[in-house]
Structure 1
Amino acid sequence: MPAFSLTTHLRPYARRLAFAAAALGLLLLGTLGLMRRGQSDAPAAAPPPVPVRVARVEARDVARQAESVGTVRPLRDVVVRTQIDGQLMRLHVREGQQVARGELLATLDDRPLQAALAQARATLAMNLAQLRSAELDLQRYRTLIADDAIPRQTLDQQQATVEQLRATVQGNRASIAAEEVRLSYTRVRSPIAGRIGLRNVDEGNLVRVGDADGLFTVTQLSPITVEFTMPQTALPVLQRLTGGGTPAPVQAHARDSGTPLAQGRLLVIDSRVGAGNGAVRVKAEFDNSGGELWPGQFVTVRLQTGLLRGALAARPAVLRYGEQDKPYVFRLKPDNTVEVVPVSVLYQDRQQVVLDGVAAGDQLVSDGQSRLRAGSRVSVPIATPTPRT
């Protein structure tokens, strides 16, 4: 009788267990394959719409503008200096005051000139007395010469004396006029209408003709001008604008904020082009009755060079550039998808762009273009009306 072996006895059960495990593994693999196949056959979820902002195309008249940087310059800016040396006795105006032409500004010590004028008048009176005496003698000599009582030479000498005294009297009167003019210089008057600047001297100081700074400045603020430069290529347009009957409008804006400051008109262009920069200087005039512009101020100048009537305008942000820098826009369709529309740029500035290839009322994407392509679905936020207070 053979010996009992546990290994031999369990071997059939081990085979059955291995077969069952293999069958279970095949079943699991099949189930997993079916699940993956079902997942691959399911449709992919649509991507969410891209949030964008849009701008509407408007048909309106658009002014073509040329932009430059200008400097505000007064039409007249006078440094008030004295025309004689003397002590400043009184200032009749204050700093920042608006004065009229001919208004009294300051007074100098006039006592030396008053004395010189009195002396000139006394000299005139003395010479007039001598002239009258010489004229009387001349009349007597003419009577005596008729009777041959005196020689002819005596009459001729007296005639010369009278003429000499008459010339002396004329010189005395000229001296008096000169002293009166010098005396008028002690009263300093404004040569123009304008605004008084900061004073350079105080009352009691000795002022001289050669003082470079003068007493103060008088600056005309209204009207005022702005000087700016334009490239020489703009000369035909500038000549057309200055040659017309109606001056071309010019706007001045603040350099930092872009706030409109004043509305003026083109005045004149320079007679030559700058040799160094190839630019021509241009001057515009502004009424400036409210003092919006100040001498020496830097402003942004916008010159209207033409008018596009019925132009299709939109915000500059709608414009995109593709290959070879060809412009295009994303236009919103009724189903909230976008299409790529090639356009032509007719005119562009900081506020607007005039396009060809779109229609009035089209809504163009102005923000969010970087995530778009033709056919992309978008969402446009609804603008909330601002409540009125």
Structure 2
Amino acid sequence: MTRSEAAPRSGRRLTIGRLALAILLLGLIGGGVWYATHRSAGSNPGSSGEPGSSRKTGGFGGGPGGMDRPQPVSALEVQQRDVRILVNAIGTATPRSLVTVRSRVDGELLKLHFKEGQMVREGQLLAEIDPRSFKAQVAQVKGQLMRDQAQLENARLDLKRYQDLLSQDSIAKQQVDTQAALVRQLEGTVQTDQGQLDNAQLQLQYTRITAPISGRIGLRQVDPGNQVKASDANGLTSIAQLDPMTVLFTVSEAQLPNVVSRFQDGKPMDVEAWDREFRNPLAQGKLVTIDNQIDPATGTLKLRAEFPNKNTALFPNQFVNIRLVLGVQPQALVVNNGAILRGSKGNFVYKVQANNTVSMVPVKLGYVEGDYTAVEGELKPGDQVVSDGTDKLKDGAKVEVIKPGAATPSAGNKQKRGKGHKPEQ
């Protein structure tokens, strides 16, 4: 056999060997897969499709292997009590009076007699302006008045002498009339001088700036040594009257008939002011006035309430939540807000029956006060309604009412393991 004939035969043997090796490997892989599959099925008979095998499943509501386990829920009693008819709104605290303290004369600011933020009384001295030029003006006008008064007195004496001579027919009547006119002229001059003196004294008083109202004083806008003018826009400082404090708020025009009718009847309307988060009450007051028109841009009406503010809980321009009390619904059935659910056919609650099952009870919602809502439906005081744990409930489901703070059954099982046990893998 030649070398050229032996080469093809060697290549064919090599190919057949490789093919046999590949078939052997595929067989080994297939056997391993079969073995692993049947071993897993044998160790977990519940997962096989053989007759008689079963697989337990957990959950609430009914069925084999834990499906009958009651669902833990929290429940609260239906109560019967008076419910206030409230209108919620947002408002801004505004001082009853807010005054900008300005100088009424021009001059140099000499002294400030207040501390920023302190409470001041009406008429209390706040600042002084250099009074020297105003004192000089008073002295000048006063001298002019004295001079004109002396001239008037002399003219009156001459008039009396002229009248005596006229009675003796020793002087012409025209001279008497002229003297009488001079007296009246000098009387006018003296009266003008008196007015100028009063004005000069008033300007001198304006150099002592006093508080126009009682309240809390703000930050100073001018330091001593500066020239101040009556035309200064910012003034020296401001004073806000904080007690009582008012709050300006708005309500929807849909509430207008109830609000206006009660206000016009003269019935006092309580108003509560709450903080931004609606958690802490700040003050309680009364509605004092209603605006005379509705804002067409927002469809709201402005109202103003007044609050005692001795503890300064309300501050100017503070944002507050408002509750306006329109009246009271007596002895209404109320449930916790968390118990009210929304369905395709309306609102309902889950009522806990005597056999520890729940039933859906349709309700009609009424007024809301805090965490409770007035309802109408087939409920009575003392009934328990589910307030927490309604996610997986259905009509007729079994429940276990858990008191607040108690552990759920699953949590209790975990606690029985003790501190030394490790969680199961």
* TM-score of the two chains, using structure 1 as the length reference: 0.85
How many Å separate the matches in 1 of 2:142 and 2:54?
125
Corresponding residue number in structure 2 for 1:356: 376
Counterpart contact for 1:238–1:269, Cα < 8 Å: no
How many Å separate the matches in 2 of 1:160 and 1:44?
126
1:154 to 175, 178, 184: 175
Is 1:271 the counterpart of 2:292? The answer is yes
Counterpart contact for 1:274–1:280, Cα < 8 Å: yes
Is 1:327 the counterpart of 2:343? The answer is no
How many Å separate the matches in 2 of 1:143 and 1:93?
65
- Report how far residue 100 of structure 1 moved: 1.6
Structure 1 counterpart of 2:180, one-letter code: Q
Give the secondary-structure state (helix, strand or coil) at the position aligned to 2:151.
helix
Corresponding residue number in structure 2 for 1:239: 260
2:363 to 332, 343, 346: 343
Is 1:308 the counterpart of 2:329? The answer is yes
Counterpart contact for 2:100–2:235, Cα < 8 Å: yes
How many Å separate the matches in 1 of 2:296 and 2:238?
33
Instruction: Could you tell me which runs of 5 or more consecutive residues in structure 2 were left unpaired when the two chains were aligned.
Output: 1-49, 56-62, 407-425
Corresponding residue number in structure 2 for 1:137: 158
Corresponding residue number in structure 2 for 1:32: none
Structure 2 counterpart of 1:227, one-letter code: L
Is 1:189 the counterpart of 2:204? The answer is no
How many Å separate the matches in 1 of 2:253 and 2:293?
10
Counterpart contact for 1:97–1:196, Cα < 8 Å: yes
How many Å separate the matches in 2 of 1:63 and 1:170?
68
Change (3 A) 1:37 1:163: closer
Superposed CA offset, 1:294-326 (max 9, x none) = 1101111111122111111121110111114x1
The range that moved more, 105-114 or 249-258, is 249-258
Counterpart contact for 1:62–1:307, Cα < 8 Å: yes
How many Å separate the matches in 1 of 2:70 and 2:237?
69
Is 1:255 the counterpart of 2:276? The answer is yes
How many Å separate the matches in 2 of 1:45 and 1:161?
126
Structure 1 counterpart of 2:349, one-letter code: V
1:1-389 map, 5 Å? 36=51, 44-47=64-67, 48-256=69-277, 258-324=279-345, 326-357=346-377, 358-383=379-404
Counterpart contact for 1:318–1:329, Cα < 8 Å: yes
How many Å separate the matches in 1 of 2:149 and 2:403?
101
Give the secondary-structure state (helix, strand or coil) at the position aligned to 1:371.
coil
Counterpart contact for 1:49–1:379, Cα < 8 Å: yes
Structure 2 counterpart of 1:373, one-letter code: K
Structure 2 counterpart of 1:341, one-letter code: V
How many residue pairs get matched?
A: 348
Instruction: Could you tell me which runs of 5 or more consecutive residues in structure 1 were left unpaired when the two chains were aligned.
Output: 1-34
The range that moved more, 107-116 or 48-57, is 48-57
Counterpart contact for 2:125–2:209, Cα < 8 Å: yes
How many Å separate the matches in 1 of 2:217 and 2:188?
46
How many Å separate the matches in 1 of 2:347 and 2:167?
113
How many Å separate the matches in 1 of 2:135 and 2:174?
44
Counterpart contact for 2:74–2:403, Cα < 8 Å: no
Q: Give identity over the alignment, percent.
A: 38
- Report how far residue 197 of structure 1 moved: 0.6
Structure 2 counterpart of 1:329, one-letter code: V
Q: What's the RMSD between the two structures over aligned residues?
A: 1.9
